[in-house]
Amino acid sequence: MEKRANMLTRVSDVIETITVWINVAIIAVLAVNLVAAVVFRYFLNSPIYWADELSLILFAWITFLGGSIGLKRSMMASVTLLEDRLKGTPLFILRLVSQISIVLFGAVVGVYSWKWLTSEGVLNQMATTLPVPLWVTFAALPVSMVLIVLFGIDNLLKLLQTGGTPPLKEETAP
């Protein structure tokens, strides 16, 4: 099992690196788009009519891909009231249930979002101002759910290998 977990971790790490670079590229395009939109609207008095829609599409992808990266790095915002009070086996069980819940959530939302994305109504819709089908925007959800399942399984296997210690979340000094 350890060999499979190590292989999954390596695949997960490569996919994380690719996802980070995709997100960096999307952020760069978004920044250029927003600056161009402001310059054209306020300085040249000739607004780019499609810039807002492009910004929304890019922002959707940044959000969902960023969320999956946060999960991989165990850097998601969380309320740790219960976790801070537990130690040993109860803490391990809480983390185990949490990781299993994340994987199941990603799988369920992924399946249903894929069904929705591939429905005839969604596949035939076009963006309002861009010559882009709307499924391109909506695909951010199932893609991120696949990543969340992959990263969640990787985190779950790491948790099982270490027996719950060290903690999944990287502790930072104040």
The three-state DSSP-derived secondary structure of 30-75 is HHHHHHHHHHHHHHCCCCCCCHHHHHHHHHHHHHHHHHHHHHHCCC
Per-residue model confidence as pLDDT tens digits over 86-117:
788 888 888 899 899 999 999 999 999 999 99
pLDDT digits (tens, 9 = 90+) for 6-61: 888 899 999 999 999 999 999 999 999 999 999 999 989 899 989 999 999 999 99
Sign of CA dihedral 156, 158, 163, 169: negative
**Predicted local distance difference test score (pLDDT) of residue 122:** 86
